[in-house]
Chains A and B, each alone.
Chain A
Amino acid sequence: MTVTGLIGTICMFPLRAIIAACVALRIHPNILTFVGVLINVAAAWQLAFGHFISAGVIMIVANIFDFIDGKVARELHAESKFGGFWDSVIDRFSDIALFIGLIYLYSSLRRTDYVMITALAMMFAIMTSYTRARAESLITKCKVGFMERPERIVLFMIGAFTNRMAAVMWVIGVLSIFTVADRILYTYRELKNAQPEPVA
């Protein structure tokens, strides 16, 4: 087993208990998704004022909700197309909220360089999700590129807990650019290899 696989397995133990509690209480997964974004806004607020440790703790709580909503939906047999759509849309709000918190912090510190780096990281993070969503309306799957949402969230937490947010913004920014490029290239190749569409 790999190190990251082992960490994932260990994290699943408490999460299973939380999922079981939500299923027992029959909490609707869409409500869990919405509560997740509200807690993420609180984390963004803490980031905006430079309270990184409390932001990190709040992010953990928020992302428990983000993580369990799909699993609770499956357990309750409450999966729906709208649920998937709602989850994706709310996830984008959560992502953007955290970046805006940091942009506020850096602008209040009069660091326009990091305002720009964070804004670019935010732009490419959103484009990472958009390119995949748009690609998968044309091809069956476009799951390439490293910097997806779980990686971004874990990096945000690492940056917050160890006060290394600047380095984290560089990593998210650069790897998101490559992820977007990767998805564009992959979609181009897949479409090129596909059978030509008949002319209408």
Chain B
Amino acid sequence: MKKTVTLPGRILWNAFFWTYDRATWQYDLMVIAILAFVWLTPPDWLGDPTASGPGPLGYLADLLQR
């Protein structure tokens, strides 16, 4: 029987089990995803020992709650 893999599943599999070279569009996308996580995740959510504050995502969440 042929196994069917959904698109999100295939994207996740390709992201974690990486086979692409540097300087490809897939590499650019991965870099954007990593930078988004690093810069947008509020330090408070991660319990960052050296940084504090809600960060850009936290500010946005606060703004939307108001």
Chain A interface (Cβ < 8 Å from any Cβ of B): 1-5, 8, 50, 52, 105-106, 109, 111, 113-114, 144-146, 150, 155, 158-159, 162-168, 170-171, 175, 178-179, 181-182, 185
Contact = CB atoms under 8 A, between A and B. Distances in A.
Given A105-B50, A163-B50, A166-B43, 10 more contacts: A2-B23, A50-B50, A106-B49, A164-B38, A165-B50, A170-B46, A171-B38, A179-B18, A182-B16, A182-B17
Contacts of A166: 43, 46-51
A163 B51 contact: yes
Contacts of B49: 105-106, 109, 111, 114, 166
B11 interface: no
B19 interface: yes
B59 interface: no
A171 B16 CA distance: 12
Interface of B: 15-19, 22-25, 27-28, 30-31, 34-35, 37-39, 41, 43, 46-51
B39 A162 contact: yes
Contacts of B43: 164, 166-167
A146 B23 contact: no
A144 B18 contact: yes
B39 A164 contact: yes
A171 B33 CA distance: 11
Contact of B41 (A3, A167, A178): A167
15 contacts: A2-B28, A106-B49, A109-B49, A109-B50, A144-B19, A146-B18, A158-B35, A162-B38, A165-B48, A166-B47, A167-B48, A168-B38, A178-B16, A178-B17, A182-B18
A155 B22 contact: no
Given A3-B28, A164-B48, A171 B34 contact: yes
* 3 cross-chain pairs, A with B, having the tightest CB-CB distances, nearest first: A5-B23, A166-B48, A146-B18
B30 to A, nearest CB: 6
A145 B18 contact: yes
A111 to B, nearest CB: 4
B2 to A, nearest CB: 20
